[in-house]
Each structure stands twice: as C-alpha cells, then as structure tokens.
Amino acid sequence: MLDAFSRAVINADSKTACIGGEELSSLRTFISEGNKRLDAVNAVASNASCIVSDSVAGMICENQGLIQAGGNCYPNRRMAACLRDGEIILRYVTYALLAGDASVLEDRCLNGLKETYIALGVPLGSAARAVSIMKACSVAHINQTNEMYSGTPKYRKMETQQGDCSSLASECASYFDRVIAALS
Amino acid sequence: MKSVVTTVVSAADAAGRFPSTSDLESVQGSLQRAAARLEAAEKLAAGIDAVAKEGYDACIKKYPYLNDAGEANSTDVFKEKCLRDIKHYLRLINYCLIVGGTGPLDEWGIAGQREVYRALSLPTAPYVEAMRFTRDRACAPRDMSAQALVEFRALLDYVINSLS
C-alpha cells in the first residue's frame, strides 16, 4: 500500500533520481492542505451510513425490479448484502482519500471485484449506479452543498473551517470513477 | 511501504471500520512534522553530488589502504562504484525523509546488505566513516534548519547502525 509520499518515492526510484524541486512542491501542497483533507475524510466517514443507504435507495428507486421477487435486492438478506458492499466500497474510498493514493482501493477492493460480482450474479450496471450516487453524495458532503430536496435548506452542516475544497472533491470523485471503471 | 498513513489505514482496514478521529489525529501529527523532513530532503537533493564526494573523500582518507592494488578503491571503475554506493545511501535517505519512515532504506538498502558485502568481500567500515563524516559535517543553519538536521542525522545514524 502506498500514500502520496511513497508514490513519489517509487516514481523517483524508477529513475534513480532524488526527490527535489517540482515533486517536492506538490508534496508541500499536500501537507499545507492536510487539514482540509482530514476534514474531507471526516465528512464522508461520519456520514457513511447516510451516503450508503441513500445511494442504494436511489438505485432501487430507478429500478423497482430489484426489490420484487427475483430481483437482486430481494429478499432482505440480499438487500443487506448490497448495503454491506456499498459500505465496504465507500470505506476503501475514504482510505484512498486519506492516503492521497488509489493503491489501497485498487489492491484491496477493486482487484477481482468485477469477476466476483459476475460469479455471484450481481448486476454490474446497478452496482455502478449506486457507486455514482455515492460519488455525488460524498462530493456534496465535502463541498458542503448537500441539500434535502431542491429548495429546502441544507442539512447536517459540518462545523469545519470554510475554504475551497474543489481539488479534494475532484480527487474523491476520481476514486469513485475508478470503482465505476472497474465494474464496467 | 510503511508510513504513518499506511499503518493507520491497515489498522482501520483490519478492524473493518472507517477512519476514526484518532486515525485522523495520527495523520495530522505526522503532517505537522513533515515540513522539516521535506526541507532536509530538498537541501540534500540539491547538494547530493557534493555531499557524496565529501563523504567518499573522507572515508578514503581514513582508510588509504583501499587504494592499494587489489583493494576496493584501486581502479577507476572501483572508485566510481564506491562513490556511487555512498550516493545510493544518500538517495535512500532522501526517500526516507519524504516518506517519513525508514521504509525505503529497509526495503532497498538494508535488506540483504550484509550478504552482498560479504559476497563481494567489501569492508563496511569505510561506509560507516563516510556516513559519520556527513553527519558531523552537516551544520545548522548553514546547510538546513536545526529541526531538518535532526531528521537528516537520525537517518544517517540509522544507516551507520545497520552497517556496524
């Protein structure tokens, strides 16, 4: 497993070069933006069950067949498995966001996931849809733009310092995109 | 590769839980100390050729028998390789300063070190002398700030201990 720092080291070692100059400045940004990153991880981790259940519910809303007899979220036992998997994927995304590198997500979660789902008969399209809702949800929590319904006030505002989190939000989105890519 | 973040993530993953407040605090702690480490890494990277040369010269000065025919520093090829090895250790120290742990040195420098030097019948004392010279030669604030120097010297000592 790597983090942003060891990733830079692996890259430099392949060229037998020291790390200085440009690579250092991107690592310095990582450090100076460190508190933002921790707040972002906290925003996602603290709202994890909400993000997961909303995403699975959203996936089912769009495809009611899933909870009818013969659907993949019927009966409760399979619905529970679905919620559990959503939580596992979200958990590995928070690890990747904390480390600033996707290797933990790739090695421990995505490697072989598609094959497992195919073997178990899990519909990949629906799984990818739930992940993409989780992506929207997590990005909204990081940027604090989450709302109940359009027009209603925001809810569950984390009392963190305000600032520009767009780069963290897009980094987090890129980890979800990796999950979606791995499933399709 | 072992660092504070990977240790924290491994522990959280083993327990199957999301990163908790205490996990985030540990990461925050390592980020706070990171500025000094990166400064040391930057200064070392900028002067690595000169630092390696000085260390190399110092160890040949202390062990002049290495220049004798058949010894480890006797030909131009050997001289170049001695200097390269010292620079290699300094580069791994640069990596360790970046990562904030001894992972790069452990994995790429120290693992198998004893066996290699024994197989090539190389003495380790000259390496120790080169590292010791570098450690005592470095000085704050001329070369880097005091805190950065502490981090740099700790890793030089780590190499010395592994060689002795």
How confident is the model over A1-47, as pLDDT tens digits? 899 999 999 999 999 999 988 889 989 999 999 999 999 999 999 99
Nearest by CB: B48 against A1, A18, A27: A18
**Residue A87: closest CA among chain B residues belongs to which residue?**
B18
Residue B55 exposed, middle or buried by CB count within 10 Å (0-12, 13-18, 19+): buried
**Lookup: tokens for B135:** 């450690």
pLDDT exceeding 70 applies to what percent of chain B? 100
DSSP-H helix ranges across chain A? 4-14, 22-32, 34-46, 48-62, 76-99, 103-105, 113-120, 124-143, 166-183
Residue B147 exposed, middle or buried by CB count within 10 Å (0-12, 13-18, 19+): middle
Q: What is the pLDDT of residues B45-64, one digit of tens each?
A: 999 999 999 999 999 999 99
The torsion of the CA quartet B59, B62, B67, B71, rounded to 10 degrees, works out to -80
Q: How many CB pairs under 8 A join A and B?
A: 103
Each residue's pLDDT, cut to its tens digit, for chain A (184 residues) gives 899 999 999 999 999 999 988 889 989 999 999 999 999 999 999 999 999 999 999 999 999 999 999 999 999 999 999 999 999 999 999 999 999 999 999 999 999 999 999 999 999 999 999 999 999 999 999 988 877 666 666 666 667 777 888 999 999 999 999 999 999 9
pLDDT of residue B91: 96
CB within 8 Å: B9 and A18: no
The CA distance from B89 to B93, in Å, is 6
B33/A contact by beta carbon, under 8 A: no
Residue A103 near residue A95 (C-beta atoms within 8 A): no
What integer best gives the mean pLDDT of chain B? 92
Task: Mark which residues 55-84 of B lie under 8 Å from A by CB.
Answer: none
Q: Distance, in angstroms, between B99 CA and closest chain A CA?
A: 5
Residue A93 near residue A108 (C-beta atoms within 8 A): no
The CA distance from B105 to A129, in Å, is 44
CB within 8 Å: B3 and A5: yes
CB within 8 Å: A5 and B98: yes
Amino acid at B117: Y
CB within 8 Å: A20 and B8: no
Q: Distance, in angstroms, between A105 CA and closest chain B CA?
A: 11
Q: Distance, in angstroms, between B1 CA and closest chain A CA?
A: 6
pTM for this entry: 0.87
The CA distance from A182 to A113, in Å, is 8
Report phi then psi at A147, rounded to 5: -130, 160
> Per CATH, is B34-163 categorized as 1.10.490.20?
yes
Nearest by CB: B6 against A3, A21, A31: A3
pLDDT of residue A157: 67
CB within 8 Å: B104 and A28: no
CB within 8 Å: A34 and B28: yes
Chain A residues touching residue B15 (CB < 8 angstroms) = none
The CA distance from B90 to A18, in Å, is 9
**Neighbour tally for B96: CB within 10 Å:** 27
pLDDT of residue B140: 83
Q: What is the pLDDT of residues B67-125, one digit of tens each?
A: 998 888 889 999 999 999 999 999 999 999 999 888 899 999 999 999 999 999 899 99
ipTM of the complex: 0.86
Phi-psi category of residue A160: left, alpha or beta, with phi > 0 → left and psi -120 to 50 → alpha? beta
Query: In which residue ranges of chain B is CATH 1.10.490.20 found?
Result: 34-163
Report phi then psi at A111, rounded to 5: -65, 110
Chain B residues touching residue A17 (CB < 8 angstroms) = 91
